[in-house]
Structure 1
Amino acid sequence: MPVLRDRSDLRGRPALAALLAAASLLTAACGGEAETVTAAGVRVLVGERTSEGMAALLTGRLADVGGCLGIEPDEVGDAMAVVWPHGTEVVDDAPLTIEVPDEGRYAIGDTVSLAGGTVAGDEVGGLPLPPECSGEQTWLSH
């Protein structure tokens, strides 16, 4: 296969150009980086891709916790911002609705159960936590 020195080498080779474009899209879609998405004035913290995690279970209502999407627990305890599993997406902003991989869709006020655990610190799941969202603990979901 010839070596491509620059984009001009792709002229007359539409199949090769299409293959390279598809490969770059797949590479971008498989990234494992953390991100913060803002929708309806609320930050949705999405953690980096990981193959490990804690196994506790948190059940509560999806809520705005200091400007970040979090959980108000059913049990006694303070509301916590959540770092959502990698791949979580905002699917609507009226009301704010997310889709969590392998779990389903949840809107503000819905009851949700998340596997994970509490963590403390200024950075969780590969994300620096916004000061207004970071309480004593944050729930790191997986």
Structure 2
Amino acid sequence: MTAGEPDRAARRRTRVRRRLLLALTVVLAVAAAYGGWRVTGAPRTLDGGDGTTVVVGGRASGGSDALASGSLTVVDGCLGIGRTVVVWPHGTDVVGTDPLVVDVPGVGERSLGDDVAVGGGQVHGYRAVPEECAGRPLFRAAPG
């Protein structure tokens, strides 16, 4: 062993530790970004009448703490709040189509134009959103 080899080994261990720390940081950041959602079951779409699609998420536990509130609207063919498309919580159902009325777990029945508020968080690239709505801001409502 030469005098420089212990320093080389120490530097190598330091590099390995830094890489592991970086990898752990990335994993934790990704986990935090998803807000602890645990989703089972496939999302689905419901026919709200007049070409309106109601996007309903799979069963979820947990969720984010953001709030979406405003008038129930149709956003490029999908049911939303204001100008944001909403992925409604599992169990949401269409109970009327003329006018559109949805029953949202934890919220109750709401018609187009009614004020509504749901907790949840912004999401990107949700697979069940129809193409015509995919370019809009997307909010996943947490279970009620």
Change over 3 Å in CA distance of 1:136–1:97 after alignment to 2: closer
When normalised by structure 2's length, the TM-score is 0.67
Cα RMSD after superposing both structures: 1.4
1:107–1:136 CA distance, 2 compared to 1 (3 A): closer
Instruction: Quote how far apart the aligned CAs of 1:136 are.
Output: 4.5
Aligned: 1:92 with 2:96: yes
Matched, 1:33 2:20: no
Which aligned segments of 4 or more residues in structure 1 are displaced greater than 3 angstroms? Answer: none
- Aligned counterparts of 2:123 and 2:106: Cα–Cα separation in 1: 23
TM-score, normalised relative to structure 1: 0.68
- 8 Å CA contact retained: 1:90, 1:96: yes
Q: 5 Å matches for 1:35-114? A: 35-40=44-49, 41-72=51-82, 79-114=83-118
Matched with 1:134 is 134
Distance 1:46 1:128 in 2: 8
Unaligned segments of structure 2, at least 5 residues: 1-39
Partner Cα separation in structure 2 for residue 97 and residue 53 of structure 1: 25
Aligned length: 102
**Letter matched to residue 50 of structure 1:** A
Q: CA offsets, 1:84-139, max 9 Å, x none?
A: 00000000001100001121110000000010111122x2xxx4321211224201
Deviation readout 1:43-73 (Å, 9 max, x if unpaired) = 000000010111111111000100000010x
Instruction: Quote the Cα distance in structure 2 between the aligned partners of 1:95 and 1:128.
Output: 24
1:120 correspondence with 2:130: no
Query: Which one has a larger percent helix, Structure 1 or Structure 2?
Result: 2
Larger Rg: 2
Please tell me whether the aligned partners of residues 120 and 136 of structure 1 are also in contact (alpha carbons under 8 angstroms): no
**Percent of paired sites with the same residue:** 43
